[in-house]
Amino acid sequence: MYIPAHFAETRPEELHRIIREHPLGMLVTHGDIGLDADHIPMELDSDVGTHGTLIGHVARANTLWQRCPTGTPVMIVFRGADAYISPNWYPSKHETHRQVPTWNYEVVHAHGTITVHDDERFTRRVVAQLTRRNEATEPKPWKMGDSESEFINSMLRNIVGIEIAITSLVGKVKLSQNREVRDRLNAADTLDARGQTALAHAMRKAG
């Protein structure tokens, strides 16, 4: 990934924040069939390993867990907030007319090695953790105990767990840091007014 120095994000806490707030990872693999990508909700445990550990699951019918046995190197892409930026949002544009359109975004590439867990105990833990996090804001959070045991057991038999030990994290946050402060802040205000609050907040913190 091309990363100019002013867009580089190296703070572990910020990289972990992007992953936690945007947990649908794009798991990129390379094998006999060439490049492939699967989109998988992941749970980050930042306390395990040097850079953290990711866990998730895939359908048993998905050949990923067979094509990529334990020890296979993989990359997971987590896309954070993003939006189009019009040059009209920059006050300096109306003075010099020397601005062009762009796209601002946050992204993290997590590199690591995969471990396949084809066992019910692991998959049950993964489902429980993912459910607990994603149901947390519901008035009455769903839990596995809401369904009959046999139904849940049959669902668990149809998935395979995966665990990724992160070996490196590469982050890029393109938030108009290379523009004048007034341009960056006015663009953030425009995004805020249009409902893009997450990216607007990130842009205000940048620079």
Domain boundaries, the chain: 5-87+99-179
What does the CA dihedral 169, 174, 175, 181 come to, rounded to 10 degrees?
A: 110
Q: What is the pLDDT of residue 95?
A: 81
Cα distance between residue 9 and residue 7, in whole Å:
7
Q: What is the pLDDT of residue 32?
A: 84
Q: Which two tokens stand for residue 69?
A: 């046995």
Q: What is the pLDDT of residue 8?
A: 97
Q: State the DSSP code for 81.
A: E
Q: What is the pLDDT of residue 195?
A: 96
Q: What is the pLDDT of residue 94?
A: 75
Weakly modelled stretches of the chain, pLDDT under 70: none
Cα distance between residue 162 and residue 166, in whole Å:
13
Q: Which amino acid is at 169?
A: L
Q: Do the Cβ atoms of 91 and 186 come closer than 8 Å?
A: yes
Q: What is the pLDDT of residue 122?
A: 96
Q: Which CATH architecture has domain 5-87+99-179?
A: Roll (2.30)
How far out from the chain centre does Cα 193 lie? 25
Residue with tokens 């990711």: 54
- Length of the chain (residues): 207
Q: Which two tokens stand for residue 90?
A: 């920059």
Q: Do the Cβ atoms of 76 and 56 come closer than 8 Å?
A: no
Can you give the pTM of this predicted structure?
0.92
Q: Which amino acid is at 138?
A: E
Closest CA to 78 of 34, 53, 48, 42: 42
> Rg (Cα) of the chain, in Å, rounded?
20
